[in-house]
Structure 1
Amino acid sequence: MSTSRNVSPDISSGWEDLVSTALVGTDRRPLPGGSAPSAGSAAQAAEVELLERAAVLTVRARAGRRLREVRPLEAAPAEEQREVSRAACDRLARILGGEQPRLLAEWLETAAARGRRISPHLLPELLDQATRDRSIRPFLGVLAGNRGRWLAGLNPAWGFLLEEATAAGATGSGGEEVWELGTSGDRRAHLGALRAVDPARARRLLETTWEKEPPDERVAFLEILADRLSPDDEPFLEAALDDRRREVRHQAADLLARVPGSRLGLRMAERAARCLSVEDGKIQVVPPVACDAAMERDGVRAKPPRGTGERSWWLQQVVARAPLGVWAGLLGRPPRELVRMKIADWGREVMAGWVRATVLQGDPEWARELFAWDPLADLLAALPRAEQDSVAADFVRRHGLDGQLIMVLGGAAAPWGAALGQAVLEKILQVSGTQPWNLGELVRLAGERIDPALHGMAERLSLEPPIQEVAALLRFRDDMLKELQ
């Protein structure tokens, strides 16, 4: 119990005496005096009497507080969104209660994408969960409706909700006034919706308020410009390289590295040409000897992570932001040969830079060759969606069940199609006869990532328990998504 400024001094001091005695023990410090013992107290243990006195002081302190003037709360505004169906609400309650808890994000994302709101009685539990899990907050901005924002205004711990996009903002239906008056989330949603239909207009809108935007907002807005990026965005992004905030400069540099023919790309290509060459059939490497101001402006971080040398760190970043198209001309080999050539020294840094460049620039040819050299999950994202499934399925068939297999599957975009789903189910069936104790994460991943409409394929494949466990989870998700339609 904490004492209040309205608690009388004798109660406060009495409480502190009791606390001191409790901390050192009644056997080492006698109970504080000041009042005659009640009848029979001599027969009672000192510990019991201490607790009794504490209870009395607690009641006295609470009863002695002055009443505060209170005003009736205004009612929550009327809702404008449709509530999810009763069946969907019941399933959400089951998920929150511990049934398939890993599906919570999918449920929330699907419901939010459809502009629905959740039943008010579930709001406190979800808002409490969002205080611990930031990843679900954007969905609650839509799902909480007006009642949720009313509650957030009453509880500071839920105040984050007031900055998330509303249903109108998330759908882009809020109008131009959202940019001037909307929440942070609404403004991001508005810019994203505008960028999808009119990229140039979205950029011009951002330019009108850019200098007034907080640093964190500038970073978030630049991430939105990644959609439908074009050479027309280069002047604005080039200017952003001079921003005071390091994160803004790095985000702008990442975007410019993706713009074909950008000045930043040409500068990085010149630096890369000074670092790499081919001699005697080997790639020779001379890392940068310094990181000057021009390199830092182009997004090269001068200070390396702990355990990484400076020249190694600078080399990786230069290679990562150089246009992938320059290497064939510079080194005289196509990507298929380059990733397999011997690199005399600094090979790990060069390969790491190429992987980063491939992910950054989304180059399918390089992704294909690098994945064959070293199957990294991040490389799958640079492949067309259909090819992701086929490449990942081939890897599953050739590779044993280990951490790398799980990581690669985690990088394949969901929902998985029939080819990848079939390959994973066959792997589960194969391993169930040799390592059944090692199947837990793969079974859960399959149930969460395979297209739920394919639950019949799993049900028919085998009666083995792990396969039927996947089938049950797929049917659970299939029913869940139908309830949210």
Structure 2
Amino acid sequence: MTTPWNNILHTALLGTDKQSLRAEELGEDLSPMAEQIVTSDKEEKFLQIAALAFNYRQAGFIPQHKESAQLSKPTPEDKPYCSPQAMQVLADVLEEENTALLALWLQLCRNSGQLARPEILPALLQRCITHKHLREDILTCGGQRARWLATLNPDWSMLPGSEDSAEQQWQTGTPEQRRDVLQQLHKSDPARALEWLQATWAQEDVNSKTDLLRSLSASPGPIDLPFLEGLSVDKSKKIREEATLLLKRIPASNLIRKYSEALQQRLKLKKERSLLGMLSKTALEIVPPADGQELSPILVQSGIEKLSNKKEYSDEEFICYQLMSYIPLDFYTSLWQKTPEEVVKLFNDDPLGKKLIPALVLSTVHFAEPKHAVPLMQFSSTFYLDLLPLLQPQQQEFYSNKFFATSPDAIIQYSTRRETEWGLELTESILRHASKDPYRYSKIFFNKIIALIPVGATAVLDKIQPDTLPAGASGNWPSISDAIRTLLLLKTQTIQAFNK
């Protein structure tokens, strides 16, 4: 049925030159008022009628009534709501649009066993769309009502616990949703995730397969081996390469076993006499395979190069270096019956070992092995920045302070990845260095890492005076310092709100 509003829309689409809007087309309520609009300009008359009809529609519009449209009620909450002080701080954090402080507020709220009040939940749920890492905490702090609200808005349908379940997202979601849900499921239930992936594998195209394989990279494990090793003969080169990358992440894979066998054939221990001939020591040597065979095609296809591209390494040394980069340090402790500390000392004290010890570091980082990061930091003569994230917070703090003067920017980069606050000594070093380079360490930088800066840093900021800074930095640092103080005040208020 044609309505006055539809007539207006139709005229707007066609243009007033092709169709004029007559007063009788507006219905008995609007026609008398439209006739009072006197102007010879067709566009002006149309716009005035449209404005009149719009306000009339807004004032008297009655939504369609459907008996079947029933809204369920949320499950009653079993946790207490936050204090008014905590809610005010949350409102301030949201207004500041600081994701780091929002994450801190949510963490403290979750740890306290409290809930955000209902009126703030829509604003929090909106943050879930662009900040995936906050979704679980927002739903936890939002309680039953947040999960109920998530079922009512399509934009929030990706949230865990909403009506659009993980399996529904896997079956009908966008490529990004399918990848995310597979990645999360693979962390919590790898067997089920693998079952889902194999069930749809034949229907996926090459790009989709590659993308889904990459979603397993956060948590590859032995349970994935039969599937991944079966992909080594896939007709797609992209699939084979992606599967190989994952197999290199799993110590129990046949590929890593072949790497270990190839290295064992080449890298040997030998006894050497000291200069006086009284004592002997253990040394490393590389012995080419006795049968003279080159690398197997499987190793070459996996990315191991036969010829060295580094002038300081011979071809055989370079082959060993590459193999070692993907072999866990446990291989040497088992083969040579030595502790991790003894293995690191052996490599560090040996001329050949010094050339190969960076490969041990690469392997330790590759397999994320904290237990081996410690001896590599303690007993090697070189400081390896890549090992810092694998250390305990106290150890990270110690080595960061120890080597800050020699590698300030690199240490700052790694320090921003920490999950615990910096100590005041490291904080002062970072702030002093940042104050001299305000273009690199701007307000945006500190907005992202404010959760890592202790609230006591305001005293450090007091020490950094503009007259002590280089000429190019003195004009910018005061405004950055003020922004840090504002964020630290919000952080202090957040902590205090949950300590009462």
For the aligned pair, the TM-score class normalised by the smaller chain equals 0.5 to 0.7
Q: Is 1:33 equivalent to 2:26 in the alignment?
A: no
**Aligned 1:392-471 pairs, distance under 5 A:** 392-399=400-407, 402=409, 404-428=410-434, 432=435, 435=437, 439-440=441-442, 447-452=450-455, 454-455=456-457, 458=460, 461=463, 465=478, 470=484
Give the CA deviation at 1:144. Answer: 1.1
- Provide the C-alpha distance between the structure 1 equivalents of 2:492 and 2:407, rounded to a whole number of angstroms: 29
Query: What letter matches 2:112 in structure 1?
Result: R
CA RMSD of aligned residues (A): 5.6
Which structure has the larger Rg over C-alpha atoms? Answer: 2
The answer (yes or no) to whether the contact 1:276–1:283 under 8 Å persists in 2 is yes
- Provide the C-alpha distance between the structure 1 equivalents of 2:20 and 2:122, rounded to a whole number of angstroms: 46
Query: What letter matches 2:366 in structure 1?
Result: A
Are residues 373 and 459 of structure 1, via their aligned partners in 2, closer, same or farther at CA, if it must alter by over 3 Å? closer
The answer (yes or no) to whether the contact 1:222–1:251 under 8 Å persists in 2 is no
Q: Which of 345, 366, 379 matches 1:357?
A: 366
The answer (yes or no) to whether the contact 2:263–2:324 under 8 Å persists in 1 is yes
Are residues 256 and 104 of structure 1, via their aligned partners in 2, closer, same or farther at CA, if it must alter by over 3 Å? same
Partner residue in 2 for 1:47? 43
Structure with larger RCO (C-alpha < 8 A, sep 6+): 2
Query: What letter matches 2:389 in structure 1?
Result: A
The answer (yes or no) to whether the contact 2:81–2:116 under 8 Å persists in 1 is yes
Cα distance per residue 1:138-197 (max 9 Å; x no partner): 112211111112212222222233438xxxxxxxxxxxxxxxxxxx99x979x97xxxxx
Query: Secondary structure of 2:102's partner?
Result: helix
Are residues 17 and 225 of structure 1, via their aligned partners in 2, closer, same or farther at CA, if it must alter by over 3 Å? closer
Q: Which of 252, 259, 268 matches 2:259?
A: 268
Give the CA deviation at 1:237. Answer: 5.9
Are residues 65 and 283 of structure 1, via their aligned partners in 2, closer, same or farther at CA, if it must alter by over 3 Å? farther
Give the CA deviation at 1:95. Answer: 0.5
The answer (yes or no) to whether the contact 2:421–2:453 under 8 Å persists in 1 is yes
Query: Secondary structure of 1:411's partner?
Result: coil
Q: TM-score normalized by structure 2? A: 0.59
Query: Secondary structure of 2:96's partner?
Result: coil
Cα distance per residue 1:187-216 (max 9 Å; x no partner): 979x97xxxxxxxxxxxxx69x74885349
Are residues 151 and 270 of structure 1, via their aligned partners in 2, closer, same or farther at CA, if it must alter by over 3 Å? same
**Aligned 1:212-361 pairs, distance under 5 A:** 213-215=195-197, 236=223, 238-239=225-226, 241=228, 253=247, 256-257=250-251, 265-272=256-263, 290=297, 319-326=324-331, 334=347, 341=355, 354=363, 356-357=365-366, 359=368
- Provide the C-alpha distance between the structure 2 equivalents of 1:52 and 1:370, rounded to a whole number of angstroms: 81
Query: What letter matches 2:257 in structure 1?
Result: L
Give the CA deviation at 1:389. Answer: 1.0
Worse-matched range after superposition: 12-21 or 102-111: 12-21
The answer (yes or no) to whether the contact 2:328–2:364 under 8 Å persists in 1 is no
Worse-matched range after superposition: 77-86 or 100-109: 100-109
- Provide the C-alpha distance between the structure 2 equivalents of 1:421 and 1:68, rounded to a whole number of angstroms: 61
Q: TM-score normalized by structure 1? A: 0.60
Are residues 374 and 94 of structure 1, via their aligned partners in 2, closer, same or farther at CA, if it must alter by over 3 Å? same
Are residues 158 and 461 of structure 1, via their aligned partners in 2, closer, same or farther at CA, if it must alter by over 3 Å? same
Structure 2 unaligned spans of 5+: 25-33, 163-180, 200-211, 232-238, 270-283, 305-318, 337-342, 467-477
Partner residue in 1 for 2:80? 82
- Provide the C-alpha distance between the structure 1 equivalents of 2:126 and 2:332, rounded to a whole number of angstroms: 51
Query: Secondary structure of 2:109's partner?
Result: helix
- Provide the C-alpha distance between the structure 2 equivalents of 1:34 and 1:85, rounded to a whole number of angstroms: 58
